[in-house]
Amino acid sequence: MRKHLATTNMKEYTYTEKKDTRSGFGDGLTELGQKNKNVVALCADLTGSLKMNDFKNNHPDRFFQVGIAEANMMGLAAGLATGGKIPFTGTFANFSTGRVYDQIRQSIAYSNKNVKICASHAGVTLGEDGATHQILEDIGLMKMLPGMTVINTCDFNQTKTATLEICDFDGPVYLRFGRPKVANFTNISENFQIGKGVLLNEGNDVSIVATGHLVWEAIQAAEKLHKNGINAEIINIHTIKPIDEDIILNSVYKTGCLVSAEEHNIYGGLGESIARLLTTKAPFPQEFVGTNDTFGESGAPIDLMNKYGLNMNSIFDAAVKVLKRKNK
């Protein structure tokens, strides 16, 4: 790769600590419990893992432990929403989507019930529990449901603000977050806007559009690219559906190429939503970073991220590759 002088400065991002995104959800839910008496919470035997204990202890009359009965939980949530409550369901992403897809489709999405489906331990970063728990298809499943809003947050602060925001949003929402401690770099006072991407860094060579845990990896990849004279524009797409078409199109019209990055199967995830957008409105080259038609496996989260190419080096390589395609 030929180096050239970067023409713009790379915006610097730092963090003081690493925190798990599921704790951001827990903090947000605790705050909502104090603010809104219509908020109720349901959990399928994973109260500690979902960080819902504070809500349970503070509001025992508004907390429902349904046990290992996720399909029942979704039906209960739909009924509570019909009665004017704002239900937040909590379990692992695999059990929040694949296991209960029929109940969500029929009782929540089709009926447009105001249920907030909150899912932790998504993707391979669930870790040691292995492939049966590491769903990598959930974004695709949920974004295909008519009327379902799909959100995938990148750090503790953004997860907390998203949790607060979806309470005021009328309609079914899928909120996806995770288990591992990751860089907490966003501003807690930053306004969370459903359907609006966040421009993290301006650049004119390549667009990197990332979601969830790969947003921080994208920032690190952009720093490496900048050292090689390549200016990457970084966009944090926290809302997969409805996707922010304007921020993506404005970026790719400027850069002429794009890399999508997600902890999800490239079949059906963020990357394919972007590909549809580019195909219909801006046919520029795109490279995908994500899992490639595979299940996960048991292992340490960092080791699995590296094995499946969900890291800064893969994003860097994809950017170099798409730049070559652009320059042909």
Are 168 and 33 in the same domain? yes
> Would you state the pLDDT for residue 8?
65
Q: How confident is the model at residue 212 (pLDDT cuts 50, 70, 90)?
A: very high
Rounded to an integer, what distance in angstroms lies between the CA atom of residue 19 and that of residue 276? 34
Residue 265: partners with Cβ closer than 8 Å, 6 or more residues away? 136, 137, 140, 290, 291, 292, 293, 294
Summarised one tens digit per residue, pLDDT across range 47-63 is 999 999 999 999 999 99
We report the CATH number of the domain holding residue 130 as 3.40.50.970
Percent residues over pLDDT 70 in the chain: 98
Q: How confident is the model at residue 92 (pLDDT cuts 50, 70, 90)?
A: very high
Rounded to an integer, what distance in angstroms lies between the CA atom of residue 120 and that of residue 156? 12
Task: Please check whether residue 190 lies inside any domain of the structure.
Answer: no
Task: Please check whether residue 10 lies inside any domain of the structure.
Answer: no
Q: How confident is the model at residue 6 (pLDDT cuts 50, 70, 90)?
A: low
Are 93 and 208 in the same domain? no
Task: Please check whether residue 133 lies inside any domain of the structure.
Answer: yes
- Strand blocks (E) in 59-143: 63-65, 86-92, 116-120
Instruction: Please give the C-alpha separations between residue 282 and each of 46, 252, 262, 328, in angstroms, as whole numbers.
Output: 44, 8, 21, 17
Summarised one tens digit per residue, pLDDT across range 243-286 is 999 999 999 999 999 999 999 999 999 999 999 999 999 999 99
Summarised one tens digit per residue, pLDDT across range 167-203 is 999 999 999 999 999 999 999 999 999 999 999 999 9
pTM over 0.85: yes
Out of 154, 183, 212, pick the residue that ends a domain. Answer: 183
Out of 183, 211, 242, pick the residue that ends a domain. Answer: 183
In this model, does residue 327 exceed pLDDT 90?
A: no
> Would you state the pLDDT for residue 3?
43
Task: Please check whether residue 188 lies inside any domain of the structure.
Answer: no
Task: Please check whether residue 4 lies inside any domain of the structure.
Answer: no
Task: Please check whether residue 12 lies inside any domain of the structure.
Answer: no
Are 241 and 291 in the same domain? yes
In this model, does residue 15 exceed pLDDT 50?
A: yes
> Would you state the pLDDT for residue 188?
94
Mean per-residue pLDDT, 206-225:
98
> Would you state the pLDDT for residue 9?
82
H or E element at residue 251: helix 245-255
Q: Domain tally for the chain?
A: 2
Query: Domain residues for 91?
Result: 18-183
> Would you state the pLDDT for residue 292?
97
Summarised one tens digit per residue, pLDDT across range 277-325 is 999 999 999 999 999 999 999 999 999 999 999 999 999 999 999 999 9
Are 116 and 139 in the same domain? yes
In this model, does residue 7 exceed pLDDT 70?
A: no
Are 202 and 137 in the same domain? no
